[in-house]
Amino acid sequence: MFYLHYKPGVEVRQPNLLSTVLRVMGCICVLIFFNLFASLIARQRNPVYAFLFLFGIVLFMRILSYVYPFPFNLQALNVFTPLIYAKDEIFRSLGDLLINVLLAFWLLLFFRAHVKTIKPPVLKKQWQVWLVIILASLLMYIVGQFLSELIQSMVIDSKISFDVTDPFSLNEYSIIGAVILGFIAFSFLFFSEVINYLLNELTNFRRRTKYIFLAAVGILWLLFRIHDPNIAYSASMVIWLLVYVVLLDMLAHRFSNSIDTIPFLFWLVLLTITTSAILVYYNNQKEITVRERLAEDLSKQKDPYLEMLMNDVAKKITEDDFIRLFFQEKNSTQLSKSTLENDLREKYFKGYLGRFNVSFYLYDEGGEPIYAADTISWYSFNRRMLVDSEPIGGDLYYNERSFNDYSYIGKKAISSLNGGSVTGYMIYELTPAVVNTQRLYPELLVDGDMYDPEKEYGTAYSYAIYDKGILVANNNDYPFQIKLYPSDVPSEEVTVSAVKGYSQLIYRASKDKVVIIMKENRDFVEFITLFAYMFCLFLLIIIIYKLLDLLVKARMRISNIRALMDISIRKKVHGTIIFVVVFAFLILGVTTILFFINRSESENRERLSKTISEVVVEVEKIFYLQQMFDAVEDMYDPVFQSRLSSAISDIADDRALDINIYDRDGNLQLTTQPLMTEKGLLARKMHPLAYFQLFRQDKIQFIQDERIGTMRYLSGYVPLRSNGEVFAYLNVPYFATQTELNQQISNFLIALINFNAFIFLIAGILALLITSSITKSFSVVIERLRHVNLGQRNDEIEWDKDDEIGALVREYNKMVRKLEVSAARLAKSEREGAWREMARQVAHEIKNPLTPMKLSIQYLQRAIDNDSPNVKELSRNVANTLVEQMDHLANIASDFSAFARIGEAENVVLLLNEVVHSLNDLYQSHPHCEIHFNEPARLCYVFADKTQMNRVFTNLLQNAIQAIPEQRMGHIEIAMEATADEWVVVSVRDNGEGISPEVQSKIFVPNFTTKNSGTGLGLAMCKNIVEHARGEIWFETRLNMGTTFFVKLPLVQGPSGG
């Protein structure tokens, strides 16, 4: 029960296409603004707060769109109607599913971009760590199961076709569904990366511990689902997740990687294989459901087209004045029952209904037989209909005694001519004249909601029907058994098993009736085809993402886009090979399909021409016999039309086709499918082009393409002649044309796609090999150019091939020889200049302490000459001054010596955490500074000289302390962080006065200093030490706010493999 309630004053307005596009673009711009704002929060505050802010905004806007027509009434679009897909209140349509998946993908993309900057909370107790690890592992299984069930609902609980073996069953909803699958796959990849990062941090990158936890949680997950019918699928999912996490650790994926790299292709192939396998699995589940419905229908011998015709006939019978008059005057009428039956057969039970034997039973208003021949009582019929039959709508019933013994029974109450009381009842029963399971009926006349799996899958299935173990009907070419023994039939109602390359479904309809449906197992072909489709689609999604990312980075400026789109030779070769393969695929596919279309049309035209010529001969004989007695003008009188209709129906049934006859003016006089005209599918006028060709151009035959709705078919026209005079036109539509053509094209496309999937894979491998071969030569030159150094010997490249690269190598060798000469001259000049500069600096630094020493001695001599009484005390002061200045000279000598020995480093694998930690402990007791050290959870090993590393960070700490004014409490923060690309960055931040812009460029220049004393070699020495360790050093400063120095060093594997 339901009701409709009208709300007055409610007006729903739908925007036009331009308005819709502008509204959607407006929403996208608003979301981009919120994304940028959240990124600002992540940089300045906390990434977790930024994600929660963005999540709250997205959730609010999504709830708003559910409750109100925001940004417009989405329900007006077909993609947002539940008729295509609906799962629950959240995923209530395919459009809602698409929006939800895109928003989830966006949120995960944002969180993933900032997850490395989020510091996991420090858990003091071990059981807390274990609990978080268990919950994170469980979350991965829950999300995996949820996404799998989401895909299941898309395939099974929807009208979306993912059957790639039938390309013509795919539509726009299939494309949208495939796009959704792509974003689901990438969303899971991003989500799993975040969870894996969290597990690595919690387990201190001990992978074995992580795998044990994941496996244990997976086993517990399966134990809780032990009674689930799909437990085998869940177990395979657990195993897949474990392997997936191992691969995630072995080959970490980054979405920013180039799309022509091995890691990127690996993850793309893995996601495509997984998605294709899941789709094949659920497609099989859906197909088995279809087979069950087909088996059930076959067991009942139901005919949906017949049922529709009988419902239509029942309505006409109750409105037929002749029948109503007959029942009204049943007591005085002189008409016999046979007269009424003949009238009923000629009017209503002809054409397709003429294939069935029909019996009529007439009863008065009291249920008594009108004719004594109707020996079946009213009670018996009612009992058969109500007890032994199945109602199928209106007053129509389906009654089955055995497979070959079934009938349709219709009952109609006949009222008087004035529409008053019931004057009697008519019961008519249709039984098949010949058992024919190969039923023929036009697709256009069957109700769109009337499901007919046999029509949809008839060519894919072979079925057999057994009654009491004996084969009573079968179709297609599978060799079924003639006799079925009890041991061959399982006790279950439905059983599915694999038999020699076929999938066998046994449906036990009743104790005596069994239906077996066989389907060729094409899972591998379907998987390969799906893989090809999904791979191309996933690649297209990533290319679109890359283009959008490029536009955002370039800020929509052409100059920036050109700068960012510099394509390497490797990418050019890859792109060229792939383009050639795709282009060849398109050309081959289009030309072959056109060939199929032309050949099919030619064959069908020839077939139709031959058929229509044979039909013309038989129809003209019927008209010839009529012309022997009547004039041509009287040939369409009701009596002759009745006989002609019966004869034409027999011809149509024998040849399994439809026939239309038009008079000389092009008016429809007779058709074997009157419902086509009544439903408005067939015009009552002849097609104007055909009429023109036959009437004006005097052609003897005309065949053309015609279309009803979306259905395309061939239609042939010929004139009917007698003694050279045209008296009518015959039309034969050929409805099977498009179906056969689609089947041929589908088979070809499947073979072509599978073949090109193999070619595409080979082309990809060849592209990698060719580009590797080409770029390997350039790599040699690039590597040598990278190591060109003025301070060492540069080797020439040996190349024995006389090609373009050989010419490049020869020029390189010439350049190396010239460079050696220039380097020798430059080195000599630099050495001389360096010695001069060093001598000047040494002289300057030595002269500074010598001056006070000389003055002190001169003052002491003057005091001695004057016999000063404090000579002794003055001698002691002069001695102290001399010692102090000599210590200063020793420090100067040590600094210059250390600077000269920077290149003599003794590099070892050392734990950088210990170096920084020891210095932090050393300076903790400083009275005017608070020093904080943020130590990472990971152990960071580098390859460097331990003494020199100690000198670097000692110098940075001393500079930080000295940069803080005396009147300010010092705060120094030391931080160490390991990045995802295997680097460690150590930062030393102070709250000093900062570095003024005019001296920033000179900070790392030797002999430059901002202090009142010193050699100015400290930071220059630090820079040389870090660069010799293949690292980088830089700083960031703000006046009166402080300075941060950064040291970046490459990580290496520790002694224990950490």
Mean pLDDT computed over 697-722? 85
| CA nearest neighbour of 613 among 715, 700, 697, 692 | 700
- What CATH number corresponds to the domain at position 695? 3.30.450.20
* 560-569, 610-619, 666-675, 826-835, range with greatest mean pLDDT: 610-619
pLDDT, tens only, 76-89 = 778 888 888 888 88
The C-alpha atoms of residue 184 and residue 190 are separated, in whole angstroms, by 10
Q: Are 733 and 717 in contact (CB under 8 A)?
A: no
State pTM to two decimals.
0.64
- What CATH number corresponds to the domain at position 906? 3.30.565.10
Q: Is the pLDDT of residue 101 over 90?
A: yes
Asked whether residue 914 falls in the same domain as residue 856, the answer is no
Asked whether residue 307 falls in the same domain as residue 412, the answer is yes
Percent of the chain exceeding pLDDT 90 equals 7
In a domain, 750, yes or no: no
pLDDT top residue among 586 and 738: 586
pLDDT confidence band for 516 (50 / 70 / 90): very high
Asked whether residue 464 falls in the same domain as residue 349, the answer is yes
Asked whether residue 887 falls in the same domain as residue 933, the answer is no
Asked whether residue 1026 falls in the same domain as residue 1003, the answer is yes
pLDDT confidence band for 24 (50 / 70 / 90): confident
Asked whether residue 443 falls in the same domain as residue 509, the answer is yes
pLDDT, tens only, 525-550 = 888 888 888 888 888 888 888 777 77
Among 643-657, 764-778, 921-935, the minimum mean pLDDT is found in 764-778
Mean pLDDT computed over 221-240? 87
Asked whether residue 1027 falls in the same domain as residue 933, the answer is yes
In a domain, 769, yes or no: no
Among 100-114, 321-335, 738-752, 867-881, the minimum mean pLDDT is found in 738-752
In a domain, 112, yes or no: no
In a domain, 848, yes or no: yes
Q: Is the pLDDT of residue 405 over 60?
A: yes
Asked whether residue 620 falls in the same domain as residue 637, the answer is yes
**How many structural domains compose the chain?**
4
pLDDT, tens only, 334-360 = 667 777 887 887 778 876 777 788 888
Q: Are 708 and 717 in contact (CB under 8 A)?
A: no
In degrees to the nearest 10, what's the CA dihedral of 411, 417, 418, 424?
Answer: -40
In a domain, 653, yes or no: yes
Q: Is the pLDDT of residue 421 over 80?
A: yes
Mean pLDDT computed over 733-753? 68
Q: H or E stretch including 346?
A: helix 337-347
> Edge-to-edge, what's the strand order for the sheet holding 502-508?
470-474, 461-467, 513-520, 502-508, 494-499
Asked whether residue 510 falls in the same domain as residue 400, the answer is yes
pLDDT, tens only, 142-170 = 999 899 989 999 998 888 888 877 777 78
Among 325-339, 616-630, 835-849, the minimum mean pLDDT is found in 835-849
In a domain, 990, yes or no: yes
| CA nearest neighbour of 427 among 375, 489, 491, 470 | 375
Asked whether residue 882 falls in the same domain as residue 912, the answer is no
pLDDT confidence band for 297 (50 / 70 / 90): confident
Percent of the chain exceeding pLDDT 70 equals 77
Among 4-13, 621-630, 989-998, the minimum mean pLDDT is found in 4-13
Q: Is the pLDDT of residue 308 over 70?
A: yes
Please tell me the predicted confidence (pLDDT) of residue 517: 92
Strands 396-402 and 405-415, sheet pairing? antiparallel
Mean pLDDT computed over 253-267? 60
Asked whether residue 817 falls in the same domain as residue 836, the answer is yes
450 phi, psi to nearest 5 deg: -85, 110
- Choose the final residue of a domain: 482, 502, 520: 520
pLDDT, tens only, 27-69 = 888 888 888 888 888 888 888 888 899 999 989 988 888 888 7
- Choose the final residue of a domain: 701, 736, 771: 736
In a domain, 105, yes or no: no
| CA nearest neighbour of 912 among 886, 892, 935, 930 | 935
Q: What is the DSSP letter of 84?
A: T
Angle at 227 between CA 222 and CA 232, to 5 degrees: 55
Q: Is the pLDDT of residue 981 over 70?
A: no
Mean pLDDT computed over 1034-1052? 89
Instruction: Report the mean per-residue pLDDT for the chain.
Output: 78
Q: With 0-12 CB in 10 A as exposed, 13-18 as middle and 19+ as buried, what is 375?
A: exposed
Q: Is the pLDDT of residue 505 over 90?
A: yes
- Choose the final residue of a domain: 879, 896, 913: 896
Supply the range of the domain harboring residue 960: 902-1050
In a domain, 40, yes or no: no
The C-alpha atoms of residue 332 and residue 865 are separated, in whole angstroms, by 174
| CA nearest neighbour of 148 among 228, 207, 219 | 228
SS3 637: coil
Q: What is the DSSP letter of 74?
A: G
Non-local (6+) Cβ contacts of 912 within 8 A are: 940, 941, 942, 949, 976, 984, 986, 1049
Please tell me the predicted confidence (pLDDT) of residue 180: 92
Give how far Cα 850 sits from Cα of 52, 598, 791, 874, Å. 67, 106, 37, 18
Structure tokens at 784: 């040598």
pLDDT top residue among 418 and 773: 418
The distance of Cα 28 from the centroid of its chain, to the nearest Å, equals 21
The C-alpha atoms of residue 885 and residue 846 are separated, in whole angstroms, by 10
Asked whether residue 346 falls in the same domain as residue 478, the answer is yes
Please tell me the predicted confidence (pLDDT) of residue 734: 80
